[in-house]
Structures are given as C-alpha cells and as structure tokens.
Structure 1
Amino acid sequence: MPRFTANVSLLFSQVPLLERFALARAAGFEAVECWWPFATHQPSAAQVGAFVDALGAAEVRLTGLNLFAGDMPGGERGIVSHPHRAAEFRENLAVVRTVVEATGCDRVNALYGQRLPGVAARVQDEVGAQNLRLAADALVAAGVTVLVEPLTIGENGDYPVQTLQDALAVAGQVGDGVAVLFDVYHLHNNGSDVVADIGRHIGAVGHVQVADSPGRGEPGTGTIDFDAFFAALDACGYDGWVGCEYRPTGPTAETLAWLPR
C-alpha cells in the first residue's frame, strides 16, 4: 500500500498552519504537504525560517508544496500562464527553491492559471510552457518534479487544464522534470475512470491526491471506489506518496478510519 501524507492546508484546520504539523504527527502521519503557505509570493526570510523550523520541531517531512497561486480565496488558481506576472513567478520560484533545499521536498505543484480576458489562449500557453520549463530547470538540482494539475470544471473559473489528457499534453510539451498530479477528486469529477486511468498513465504521474466525490470529503463519504483505486495503484507499482487532500467531515483525527493499515 502507498504511503500517505497529510495536506495541512485542509486537514487539522482548527489550528494555525504551523501548528498543524504536530497534529499530523500525533495522528500518525510522517509527512505533510501544503498549498503555498504564505500570504505573499515573496515572504521574508524569517517567515520561511519559521515554516522550516515548525516542520523540524514536529518531526515530519515535507513531501509537496504549491507554487504561489495568486489570491486563492478570491478565486485565482495559479499564475504560471499569466504573461503580466512573469516577474512575480520568477521571484516566487527563488523562494520555493530555498524551501525545497531546506526541507528535501521533491514535489512542487504549479497551478496553471485561468484564462485571461483579452489574452489569446495561444499566448498564455506559450508563457505557461516557458514558465514550467523555467521551474523544472531551476529545481532539478534539488531533485524536484514539477506537477501539472487538472481541476474540477465549474469550481475553479476558466481553468483550462481539466482532463488527464490536458495535463498529459502540457507536461509532454514541456518535457523532462514535469509530470501530472493525479488528483482523484478532480479527475473523477471531470469524467475520468480513475481506476483504469491510473494504470494506463502511471508513467506520467508524479504524485497522487485523494478526496471523495461529491463533497470532497474523506474517502468513504462519496461514490468513488477507493478499494479498487488503491488496488490499481498498488498493481501498477506506484511507490510515491498519496496526499490526503480532502475537507474533513468532522475533526480530522476522527476522519482517518478509512486509511489502509
């Protein structure tokens, strides 16, 4: 069975982010992942240091991190393909490199960004490919794989990477160092047969995340057959981490009975 990592951007949310690492450890997780954990694209050295120190104090490994994705609460979903934010992207990438080098994190999720009014899709896709190549080249020395993630249609604005095929096309265009984030919740919502597709495309998958659908709760609260999915994941030899990126239907520690033991 795969190893599970707690996405503390959603789990243990009753306490501030830096306190969630210890709660994850107490619940049995040896690793955590998160979205961009700072309010700005370029936090201070003290803020980065506090983040790294909190991981160490909790004795958990950081297995995944998002690039700065803009104003997520306000509806933004990444800046990778936004031409007018290229400098912001590069500045953020320098901070990400500092974090991954300090923590050993080897997966970085680059949310692609929504379509912009008045900007041709072709232009955005060219910028997206250039920035993903820039990210992969900047992080390769730290052993990092950059991830491209499809998101649920209707929940994330005009976000163009929706299907597994969309993500495979983007990753394939960029090349080495870029892979697909196989998020079971988002892909299922957009029509994927996640049990069959994980086996078909495992060679292009850099990370897996799970939540049930509908509702995005813990596995077992929706209709996805996770027994079949985990069996398929095991059968195809996946040896990476699986991110628990769900919205708990109760206190997080009380929603972990689904975890295979």
Structure 2
Amino acid sequence: MGFGDHRYTVNLSILFTELPLLERPAAAAAAGFDAVELWWPWPGTPVPDRAELDALRAALDAAGTRLTGLNFYAGRLPGPDRGALSVPGTESERFRANLDVAAGFAAATGCTALNALYGNRVEGVPAAEQDRLALANLTLAARAADRAGAVLLIEALGAAESPHYPLLDAPSAAALAERVDAASGTGNARLLMDLYHLSRNGADLEQVIDAHTGRTGHVQIADDPGRGAPGTGTLPLAALLDRLARAGYDGHVGLEYKPGDRPSAESFGWLPRRPGSESEERGTTP
C-alpha cells in the first residue's frame, strides 16, 4: 500500500487560497482531484445571500468536483480555530441560524459530512453550562445533517493552535458523538480524526486508529511539525493511512495542510500518479 492507495479530498479553505473562492474548485480539478471540502466559506455570515450559495454550487458543478465535507458556521476561521455552538449568546444563535442553510447546501451538492466545531471555553461562563448548550445544539445539528443525508462530524483540535478549545483527544470527541447519538436518535454522529491535531497533542496515533476507526466518519492529514504536506515533517503518514485502511476505514482522506511558499498546485509532489488507475482514467484523484 502507500499514498497512492487512498482516496483524497482537498480542503479549499487552506489549499488554493491564493485564488478567489469560486476559482478554487477548477484549480483542484486541474491538479487531479474530483473531491473537495470546505470550512464554512463565509466566516462572518451564517446565512449568506442565495446568490452566493448558487455561485459556489455552480463553480463546483462546472469544475466537476464533488463537495464531500463542509463545516457548519464556526465563527472566525482561519485563526485560533473555534466553533460557535457552545458559546452563549450571539455565536450560538448564529450557529442555529446556519443549520438549515448548511444542511440545505450539503443536500444540494451531495455532501455527505457536516463538521460542527465545538467552541472555545468562555471566561466567566461555567463549563457545564457551555456543555449543556453544546449538546442541545449538536442534537439539532445531527438532525439537520440527517435530513441532508449526511453524517455529523465532531473534531478534536490542537491545544497549541486552539488553547481554549475543550476537545483535545479522540476519546473525548468519540464519547461526545455517542452522547449526541443518544440525544438525537439519528445515530449519525462520527469522529473527525485529524491526525495532525492529534499528533500535536501528543496522541499515540496508532492506538487512536486501533481504538477509534470504527467510530470515524472522516480523516484529515497534515505533517507535523509545520502543518505542511506529507514529507515536510516527521509523521509516518503513509503507514498511518495504511493502518486506517486495515482497520476498516474506506472513506476519503482530507488534505488540510498549508502549501508553504509556493502555489498550492505544486504541493502534491508526494502523491504518486498510478498509470492506468481508474481515477487517472477519469482525470481525477490518483
């Protein structure tokens, strides 16, 4: 096995950001990918104009790219990653306003995974109060995702980049997914296993894979340190992805890394092209 034996999706909120949003799907397609994912593309606007939603959908369709993953509204991204659903007041209200919009866009584009970032701890607000709000909003999110035919993803982030984010390991995120399933009755809550974030927090990634692959709905990668492309750090990403496959994971692997001081299209040299493969015949991801 190796890097060429997995299905990849490009995160257009961290790669190809040198281009306007509506040009990124075509750029990803030109680089050989037919699957893309996005953070919520309008970070300050949980309910954008219909014209903006339609324009993004048209750009995806014109490029022949399928949207496989989308974040619900999560506040200010990029930056110190944070969500909105556990933040009392305006932010959680924005999250709820976004639920049907994001789920509707997912349904319209065939997107099968919606990611709900938990939200930073807020000074002066008891953690238990935020956790109750989070469970209520995640329950609503699970039901919205279910109506769209999608799974709900719950992600642990890195403490160095997101110091006030409370979900920092795979067991916590997986346990929360179980609580959401019990509350929502939909059974569609899954772990988003981001190997970069988990590595930054010191996790034993082999143990995480062995223990939590069955609960995993999506995987994202970047090398550590640096959050660059595979081969720029020290993570044995090819071996880890093969371990995931042996553990039963057969979904997409999201490329959520920084391209460095070069155009994004030049950051895929680590990914082998396989002559005669089904994907190459289609002109899609190797």
TM-score (norm 1): 0.96
Which deviations, in whole Å up to 9, do the C-alpha atoms of 1:56-88 show, x marking residues without a partner? 011100000011111224646111111213332
CA distance in 2, matches of 1:88, 1:206: 25
Q: Which residue of 2 aligns with 1:243?
A: 254
CA distance in 1, matches of 2:79, 2:199: 25
Which deviations, in whole Å up to 9, do the C-alpha atoms of 1:201-223 show, x marking residues without a partner? 11111100000000000011001
CA distance in 2, matches of 1:73, 1:108: 18
Letter in 1 for 2:35: A
Judged with a 3 Å threshold, the aligned counterparts in structure 2 of structure 1 residues 231 and 75 are, in CA distance, closer, same or farther, namely closer
RMSD after superposition: 1.4
Judged with a 3 Å threshold, the aligned counterparts in structure 2 of structure 1 residues 68 and 245 are, in CA distance, closer, same or farther, namely same
Tell whether the 8 Å contact from 1:4 to 1:244 is kept in structure 2 after alignment.
Answer: yes
CA distance in 2, matches of 1:167, 1:177: 14
Q: Which residue of 2 aligns with 1:55?
A: 60
Which deviations, in whole Å up to 9, do the C-alpha atoms of 1:159-205 show, x marking residues without a partner? 00011122112112111211110001000111112233212211111
Tell whether the 8 Å contact from 2:107 to 2:149 is kept in structure 1 after alignment.
Answer: no
Q: Which residue of 2 aligns with 1:103?
A: 109
CA distance in 2, matches of 1:32, 1:44: 22
> Does the alignment pair 1:92 with 2:98?
yes
Q: CA deviation at 1:89?
A: 1.6
Q: How does 1:60-71 map to 2 (within 5 A)?
A: 60-71=65-76
Q: Which residue of 1 aligns with 2:34?
A: 30
Letter in 2 for 1:251: P
SS of structure 2 residue aligned to 1:77: coil
Of 173-182 and 23-32, more deviation after overlay is shown by 173-182
> Does the alignment pair 1:210 with 2:221?
yes
CA distance in 2, matches of 1:232, 1:260: 19
SS of structure 2 residue aligned to 1:82: coil
CA distance in 2, matches of 1:141, 1:68: 18
Q: Which residue of 2 aligns with 1:254?
A: 266
> Does the alignment pair 1:7 with 2:19?
no
SS of structure 1 residue aligned to 2:8: strand
CA distance in 1, matches of 2:212, 2:73: 27
Q: Which residue of 2 aligns with 1:232?
A: 243
Q: Which residue of 1 aligns with 2:86?
A: 81
Q: Which residue of 2 aligns with 1:173?
A: 179
Count of aligned pairs between the two proteins = 261
Tell whether the 8 Å contact from 1:195 to 1:228 is kept in structure 2 after alignment.
Answer: no
Of 51-60 and 139-148, more deviation after overlay is shown by 139-148
CA distance in 1, matches of 2:146, 2:241: 29
Query: 1:142 pairs with 116, 137, 148, which one?
Result: 148
Tell whether the 8 Å contact from 2:214 to 2:249 is kept in structure 1 after alignment.
Answer: no
Letter in 2 for 1:87: E
Q: Report the identity percentage.
A: 49
TM-score (norm 2): 0.88
> Does the alignment pair 1:193 with 2:198?
no
CA distance in 2, matches of 1:96, 1:42: 9
Q: Which residue of 2 aligns with 1:116?
A: 122
Letter in 2 for 1:101: A
CA distance in 2, matches of 1:74, 1:240: 28
Q: Which residue of 2 aligns with 1:43?
A: 48
CA distance in 2, matches of 1:76, 1:258: 27
